[in-house]
């Protein structure tokens, strides 16, 4: 009997997630009701933040005592109808985001707002499955049912939220790049709470409010901005390649209806680290950089080009980066073209040349495998490592480019230190430094190894992208032959003989944890710890990367790799 | 590929053919990376066959390779690279394991799955269109100091990483200990309850107090 608490009798090892989907959805939407329990008396307390009504909208049709409003000021911030706000849910860390669709005051002076909810992608993983989502994407609730909207007291609002709609629906005014930059969240899809479907089509009304109110506010300038205005093809050279240009011409009267359009822009924008060191972090550069890389996507910079007429209005910095940007793209293109030509012209497979392009720079070419060295490769790597450590011929190289192949490392050592070695890159795991590649080298003799370490310590061997190679004596630990693994528990008292064949099998076979067992609760605790630890590592690596970047910028003449 | 290098170089056609082969090899490798999943938090008891059997329900497992780490600290789990038949299966595994705790060879610590990256494969081929440059810095070069600083920082980072790893292992052991304690407490409690029923104490007490019992085994 006891055993069943720990391992369910599982005829079917894999539980179907679909069984629990109503449960997930209930959990998701039950929180909406929690707001109703928010004590409304708090509105009357003296120490609540300041509140004042704004413009009136009209009285209720049914109930004359209800007064609707268009705006209000709460805690010093002005909220208008159809603004997006953060609403704090007691006990949750992340606030919910909703759009105010109605504001009113009841006859007992209670101030209520009705909000239509936005879902975070994490709340909808079951329905999203493998579909990619943008980093700061939300999904608008639509349809009929629980979870669409709630009426909450004004006091539940914790702040304004900047949500921009990037849907290409023709009723939606397209956001400017500036809006995209300052947007905290984006949305272009809806989640129907009744049919539980995700769709990019917007219905005509949501929660009895016309859908136009959910799109971006129409600015006083013009109607929904259509791209592909006449001036948009002025600078064809700032696009990536020939194919891009032609597609531009084909789709001339601008509005392209590819649904891949929005995600492409914004994926790049939400990434915080970029590999380019030529363009700054202004979104325009990122957008077109992406365009270069993915030539088959119709360029979003159509939108950018539409603004070129307004360059004088925007910031000087923006204009400068735009100019700078139009310089940086042709050069990167040129570099790419040149590289391809180089490869076809030169003969990199000419084995014995070591080309010195600048005074000290050595170009590492592939070396020929000497016939005599084939015996070198025969024994399995693990044994050789052990032996090398004993004999003192093992060296660990660090700060290599992590994408090097082992043979490339061997070539580098051959050219730089004039030594033939056997090298293998160390495999990365979840806590390896993503910027830093390591390799084990086995030298032919311990003296060779020591001189190499000494040389690398004393002088600086720089790799192409400004990394000095760090070397030290290699040490490897023996594989610990323990059977214990923290987290795998067993109850000492349970006598396995009593359990029987089936029980024993159930322990050792792989399975999902059923959600009503103790096993599941314990497993969830482990998952939490796992996620925590990955966050720690992420934070550490970010800091370390920043330090390296700082130093890197101080280097005066790094020779950039083509990689 | 290197065998080809030994051959004489003649004619552009041959050359282009060679280049194509190199690119193809790398493309095939990248495809393999996309189809592979990196699983860690595995117990040392988990063998390749066990992992293969475990993941067979998600699709066709082509190969399982256990990864050797050369700084084996006590209590660190094992990791494995699992190559699936197509990228969709790989993605399914990752999202399923992420959403519901999945155990292999022991419980309740679940395994963790990540998409594989190029750096996890140590037998990777070279990147085709890359030429590596390296140079020795002269000691009077202004960059020399910067480079020495960088070397020092790289070492520091390695030490920091080591420290974090140790702390992480400590946390994991701590959690395991807590869970083990609470589990044996729960077990004792249930054993006690069972004992009460088994030895007839419950029925006797019930008779004494003239209450009905519902004793189900």
Three-state SS string across A327-345, please? HHHHHHHHHHHHHHHHHHH
* Domain around B75: 2-120
Query: Pick from B6, B79, B151: which is nearest to A368 by CB?
Result: B6
Instruction: Say what the pLDDT of residue A477 is.
Output: 65
CB-CB neighbors (< 8 A) of A418 in chain B: none
The vertex-B168 CA angle with B165 and B171, nearest 5°, equals 155
Q: Give the residue from B99, B120, B141 where a domain finishes.
A: B120
Nearest to A407 among B15, B126, B148 (CB): B126
Q: B37 is written with which tokens? A: 């999943």
Which residue does chain B place closest to A13, by CA atoms? B57
Angle between helix A316-345 and helix B12-34 axes, rounded to 10 deg: 130
B105 and B155 in one domain?
A: no
What pLDDT score does A290 carry? 39
Distance CA A442, CA A421 (A): 6
Are residue B73 and residue B154 in the same domain, yes or no? no
Nearest to A520 among B101, B119, B143 (CB): B101
Inform me whether the C-beta atom of residue A360 falls under 8 Å from chain B C-beta atoms: yes
| Residue B189 is assigned to a structural domain of this protein | yes
Contacts of B146 in chain A (CB under 8 A): 551, 554-555
Q: Which of A28-32, A308-312, A511-515, B55-59 has the lowest mean pLDDT?
A: A308-312
- Whether the Cβ atoms of residue A394 and residue B172 lie closer than 8 Å to each other: no
- DSSP state letters, A438-489: EEEEE-SSHHHHHHHHHHHHHSEEEETTTEE-EEEE---PPPP-----TTB-
Minimal Cα distance from A405: which residue of B?
B126
Contact B146 A551 (CB under 8 A): yes
CB-count exposure of residue A442 (10 Å: 0-12, 13-18, 19+): buried
Which of residues 106 through 125 in chain B touch A, CB cutoff 8 A?
A: 106-110, 112, 114, 117-125
3-state secondary structure of A217: coil
**Which of A479, A488, A548 best tests the B interface by mutation, with the highest count of B CBs <10 A?**
A488
Say whether pLDDT at A91 is over 70. Answer: no
Question: Are A406 and B123 in contact (CB < 8 Å)?
Answer: yes
| Mean pLDDT, residues A494-521 taken together | 60
Task: Using the CB atoms, write b or e for B103-118: b if 16+ within 10 Å.
Answer: bbbbbbbbbbbbbbbb
Whether residue B50 is found in the same domain as residue B154: no
Helices (H), ranges, chain B: 2-6, 12-34, 48-55, 87-99, 142-198, 201-209
Domain membership flag for residue B87: yes
Q: Are B173 and A486 inside 8 Å of each other by CB? A: yes
Given a cut of 60, whether residue A282 has pLDDT beyond it is: no
CATH code for the domain in which residue B67 is found: 3.30.70.330
Residues of chain B neighbouring A460 (CB-CB closer than 8 A): 136-137, 143-144, 147-148, 151
Same domain membership, residue B142 and residue B107:
no
Q: What is the pLDDT of residue B61?
A: 85
Chain B residues whose beta carbon lies within 8 Å of the beta carbon of residue A524: 101
What was the pLDDT predicted at A322? 39
The Cα A166–Cα A161 span in angstroms is: 16
> Is A253 within 8 Å of chain B by CB?
no
Tell me if chain B has a CB within 8 Å of the CB of A527.
yes
Residue B43, pLDDT > 70, answer: yes
State how far the Cα of A287 lies from the Cα of A265, in Å rounded to an integer. 6
* Those residues with Cβ within 8 angstroms of residue A249's Cβ, 6 or more apart along the chain or in another chain: A233
Task: Give dist(CA B17, CA A402) in Å, integer.
Answer: 28
The mean per-residue pLDDT over the stretch A448-460 comes to: 82
What is the C-alpha separation between A451 and A437, in angstroms, rounded?
22
In this predicted structure, the answer to whether residue A247 has a pLDDT above a threshold of 70 is no
Candidate from B54, B68, B109 with C-beta closest to A487 = B109
pLDDT band, residue A78 (cuts 50/70/90)? confident
Q: Which residues of chain A make contact with B123, given a CB cutoff of 8 A?
A: 406
DSSP strand pairing (B36-42 vs B112-115): antiparallel
| Residue A258: band (very low, low, confident or very high) from pLDDT cuts 50, 70, 90 | very low
Position with higher pLDDT, B67 vs A464: B67
Is A374 part of the contact surface with chain B (CB cutoff 8 Å)?
Answer: no
* A149 three-class SS: strand
On the question of pLDDT at A293 being above 80, the answer is no
Q: Are B187 and A559 in contact (CB < 8 Å)?
A: no
What chain B residue is nearest to A413 in terms of C-alpha separation? Answer: B134
Residue A7 pLDDT grade (very low, low, confident, very high; cuts 50, 70, 90): very low
Each residue of A390-433: pLDDT tens digit?
787 888 888 888 778 888 888 888 887 787 888 888 877 777 77
> A343 vs B100: CB contact, 8 Å cut-off?
no
**Same domain assignment for residues B202 and B143:** yes
pLDDT (0 to 100) of residue A347: 38
Domain boundary among B120, B148, B169: B120
B105 to A508: CB separation less than 8 angstroms, yes or no? yes
Please check the confidence at residue A449 and state whether its pLDDT lies above 80: yes
pLDDT at position B121 is 80
Query: Would you state the structure tokens that stand for residue A450, as one six-digit string?
Result: 């020591």
> For the segment A330-343, what is each residue's pLDDT rounded down to a tens digit?
434 433 443 333 33
d(CA B133, CA B150): 18
Using the predicted structure, report yes or no on whether residue A25 has a pLDDT greater than 70: no
Does residue B49 fall inside a structural domain?
yes
- Whether residues B116 and B18 share a domain: the answer is yes
Q: Report B:27-66 residues touching A (Cβ under 8 A).
A: 38, 40-41, 43-45, 50, 53-54, 57
Q: How far apart are CA A529 and CA B179, in angstroms?
A: 13
Asked if the C-beta of B198 comes within 8 angstroms of chain A's C-beta atoms, the answer is no
**Residues B97, B35 share a domain:** yes
Both B41 and B110 in one domain: the answer is yes
Put simply, the chain A residues between 479 and 518 with a CB less than 8 A from any chain B CB are 479-489, 491-493, 507-513, 515, 518
What is the pLDDT averaged over residues B165-175? 86
Task: Report CA A562 to chain centroid distance, whole Å.
Answer: 26
Confidence at A255, pLDDT banded by 50, 70, 90: very low
The pLDDT, as a whole number, for residue A229 is 36
Size of the A and B interface in Cβ pairs below 8 Å:
328
**CB nearest B194 (choices: A1, A479, A555):** A1
Q: What average pLDDT score do residues B131-154 get?
A: 78
8 Å CB contact of B54 and A510:
yes
DSSP collapsed to 3 states, A28-60: HHHHHHHHHHCCHHHHHCCCCCCEEECCEEEEC
Q: Which residue, among A156, A151, A124, has the nearest Cα to A140 in the 3D structure?
A: A124
CA distance B49 to B66: 11
Rounded Cα distance, A293 and A17, in Å = 38
Reply yes or no on whether the pLDDT at A494 is more than 60.
no
Is residue B126 situated within a structural domain?
no
The predicted structure's pLDDT at residue A28: 47
Mean pLDDT of chain A: 65
Nearest chain A residue to B94 by CA: give it. Answer: A130
B125 found inside a domain:
no
Q: Quote the minimal CA–CA distance from B128 to chain A in Å.
A: 10
Q: Which is more confidently placed, A1 or A218?
A: A218
Strands A71-74 and A111-119: what pairing? unpaired
Answer whether B99 sits within 8 Å of A125, measured CB to CB. Answer: yes
State the pLDDT at residue B70: 66
Could you tell me if B209 lies within 8 Å of chain A, comparing CB atoms?
no
Task: Specify which residues A422 forms β-bridges with.
Answer: A442
Residue given tokens 């595995």 in the structure block: B42
- Among residues B70, B88, B120, the one where a domain terminates is B120
Helix axes A316-345, A283-293, angle to 10 degrees: 20
> Which pLDDT does position A423 carry in this prediction?
83
The C-alpha atoms of residue A385 and residue A443 are separated, in whole angstroms, by 11
Query: Is residue B213 in some structural domain?
Result: yes
- Collect all residues with Cβ–Cβ distance below 8 Å to A168 and sequence separation of at least 6: A174, A188, A255, A257, A259, A261, A262
Q: Are A254 and A232 in contact (CB under 8 A)?
A: yes
pLDDT band of residue A80 (cuts 50, 70, 90) is: confident
Tell whether the model's pLDDT for residue B6 goes beyond 80.
no
Residues in a beta bridge with A87: A96, A157
Residue from B6, B38, B58, B70 to probe the interface with A (highest A Cβ count within 10 Å): B70
pLDDT average, residue stretch B16-42: 83
Residues of B in contact with A15 (CB under 8 A): 100
Is A27's pLDDT higher than 60? no
At residue A114, φ and ψ (nearest 5 deg) are -105, 130
> Quick one: B151 and B215 in the same domain?
yes
For residues A5 and A11, give the distance between their C-alpha atoms in angstroms, rounded to a whole number: 15
> Could you give the CA distance from residue A553 to residue B37 in angstroms, rounded to a whole number?
35
Residues of chain B contacting A522 with CB distance shorter than 8 Å: 107-108, 179, 183
Q: Do B107 and B29 sit in the same domain of this protein?
A: yes
Our count of domains for chain B comes to 2
* Chain A residues 420-449 within an 8 A CB cutoff of chain B: 424-434, 436-437, 440
CA–CA distance, A498 with A502 (Å, rounded to integer) = 11
CB contact under 8 A, A461 and B92: no
Residues B109 and B11 grouped into a single domain? yes
B71, B110, B182, best to mutate vs chain A, most A CBs in 10 Å = B110
Contacts of A507 in chain B (CB under 8 A): 106-107
Average pLDDT (A246-258) is 38
C-beta atoms surrounding A512 within 10 Å:
21
Check CB contact of A133 with chain B, cutoff 8 Å: no
Q: What is the pLDDT of residue A57?
A: 79
pLDDT on residue B16: 72
In a domain, B69, yes or no: yes
CA distance A238 to A235: 6
Domain co-membership, B107 together with B149: no
Cβ(B61)–Cβ(B83) below 8 Å: yes
Q: What is the pLDDT of residue A30?
A: 47
> pLDDT tens digit string along A340-351?
333 333 333 333
Specify the pLDDT at position A490: 65
**A95 contact B CB<8A:** no
Q: Between A328 and A35, whose confidence is greater?
A: A35
Contact A301, A287 (CB under 8 A): yes
User: Which pLDDT value is given to residue A256?
Assistant: 38
Task: Report which secondary-structure segment, H or E, holds A555.
Answer: none
Distances (CA, A) of A305 to A173, A214, A299, B213: 17, 27, 10, 82
Q: In percent, how much of chain A has pLDDT > 90?
A: 0
Closest-CA residue of B relative to A510 is B104
Report CB contact under 8 Å: B146, A362: no
Q: Which residue has the higher pLDDT, B129 or A144?
A: A144
Given a cut of 80, is residue A364 above it in pLDDT? no
Q: Is residue B54 part of a domain?
A: yes
Q: Of residues B15 and A271, which shows the higher confidence score?
A: B15
- Residue A286 has what pLDDT? 39
Is pLDDT at B174 greater than 80 in this prediction? yes
Q: Are B104 and A429 in contact (CB under 8 A)?
A: no
């Amino acid at each position: 009997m006891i055993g069943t608490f720990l391992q369910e009798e599982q005829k079917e090892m894999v539980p179907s997630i679909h069984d629990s989907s109503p449960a997930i959805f209930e959990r998701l939407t039950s929180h909406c009701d929690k707001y109703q329990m928010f004590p409304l008396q708090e509105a009357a307390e003296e120490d609540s933040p300041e509140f004042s009504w704004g413009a009136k909208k009209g009285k209720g049709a049914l109930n004359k005592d209800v007064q609707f409003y268009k705006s209000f000021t709460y805690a010093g911030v002005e909220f208008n109808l159809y603004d997006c706000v953060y609403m704090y849910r007691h006990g949750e860390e992340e606030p919910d985001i909703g759009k105010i669709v109605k504001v009113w005051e009841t006859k007992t002076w209670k101030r209520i707002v009705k909000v239509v909810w936005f879902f975070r992608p994490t709340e909808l993983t079951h329905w999203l499955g493998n579909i990619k989502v943008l980093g700061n994407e939300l999904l608008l609730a639509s349809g009929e049912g629980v979870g669409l909207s709630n009426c909450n007291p004004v006091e539940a609002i914790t702040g304004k939220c900047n949500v921009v709609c990037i849907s290409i629906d023709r009723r939606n005014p397209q956001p400017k790049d500036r809006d995209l930059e300052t947007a905290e969240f984006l949305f272009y899809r809806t989640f129907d709470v009744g049919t539980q479907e995700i769709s990019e089509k917007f219905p005509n009304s949501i929660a009895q409010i016309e859908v136009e109110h959910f799109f971006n506010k129409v600015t006083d300038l013009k109607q929904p901005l259509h791209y592909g205005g006449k001036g948009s093809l002025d600078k064809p050279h700032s696009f990536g390649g020939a194919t891009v240009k032609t597609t531009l011409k084909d789709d001339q009267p601008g509005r392209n209806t590819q649904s891949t359009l929005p995600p492409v822009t914004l994926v790049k924008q939400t990434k915080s680290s970029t590999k380019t060191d030529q363009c700054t972090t202004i979104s325009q550069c990122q957008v077109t950089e992406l365009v270069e890389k993915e030539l088959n996507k119709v360029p979003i910079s159509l939108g950018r080009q539409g603004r070129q007429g307004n360059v004088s209005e925007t910031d000087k910095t923006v204009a400068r980066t735009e100019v700078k940007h139009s310089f940086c793209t042709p050069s990167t293109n040129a570099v790419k073209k040149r590289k391809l030509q180089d490869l076809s012209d030169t003969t990199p497979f000419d084995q014995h040349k070591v080309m010195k392009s600048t005074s000290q720079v050595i170009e590492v070419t592939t070396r020929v495998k000497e016939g005599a060295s084939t015996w070198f490769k025969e024994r399995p790597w693990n044994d050789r490592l052990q032996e090398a450590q004993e004999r003192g011929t093992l060296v660990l190289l660090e700060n290599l480019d992590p994408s090097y192949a082992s043979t490339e490392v061997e070539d580098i050592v051959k050219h730089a230190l004039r030594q033939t070695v056997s090298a293998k890159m160390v495999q990365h795991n979840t806590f390896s430094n993503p910027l830093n590649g390591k390799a084990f080298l086995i030298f032919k003799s311990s003296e060779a190894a020591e001189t190499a370490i000494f040389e690398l310590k004393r002088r600086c061997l720089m790799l192409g992208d400004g990394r000095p190679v760090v070397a030290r004596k290699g040490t490897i630990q023996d594989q610990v032959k323990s059977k214990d693994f923290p987290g795998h528990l067993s109850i000492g008292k349970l006598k396995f003989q009593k359990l029987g064949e089936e029980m024993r099998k159930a322990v050792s076979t792989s399975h999902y944890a059923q959600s009503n067992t103790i096993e599941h609760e314990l497993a969830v605790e482990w998952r939490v710890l796992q996620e925590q630890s990955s966050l720690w590592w992420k934070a550490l690596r970010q800091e370390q990367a920043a330090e390296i970047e700082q130093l890197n910028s101080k280097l005066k003449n790094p020779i950039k790799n083509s990689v | 590929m290197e065998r080809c290098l030994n051959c004489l170089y003649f004619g552009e056609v041959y050359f282009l053919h060679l280049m194509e082969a190199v690119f193809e090899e790398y493309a095939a490798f990248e495809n393999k990376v996309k189809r592979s999943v990196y699983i860690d938090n595995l117990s040392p008891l988990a063998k390749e066959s066990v992992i293969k059997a475990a993941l067979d329900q998600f699709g066709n497992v082509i190969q399982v390779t256990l990864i050797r780490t050369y700084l084996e600290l006590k209590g660190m789990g094992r990791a494995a690279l699992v190559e699936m038949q197509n990228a969709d299966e790989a993605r399914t595994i990752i999202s399923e394991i992420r959403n519901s705790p999945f155990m292999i060879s022991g419980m309740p610590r679940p395994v963790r799955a990540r998409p594989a990256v190029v750096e996890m494969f140590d037998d990777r081929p070279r990147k085709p269109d890359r030429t590596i440059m390296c140079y020795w810095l002269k000691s009077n070069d202004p960059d020399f100091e910067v480079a020495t600083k960088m070397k020092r920082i790289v070492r520091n980072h390695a030490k920091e990483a080591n420290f974090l790893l140790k702390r992480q292992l400590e946390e994991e052991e701590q959690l395991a200990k807590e869970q083990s304690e609470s589990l044996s407490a729960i077990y004792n409690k249930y054993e006690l309850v069972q004992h009460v029923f088994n030895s007839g104490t419950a029925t006797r007490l019930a008779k004494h107090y003239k209450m009905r019992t519902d004793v189900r085994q």
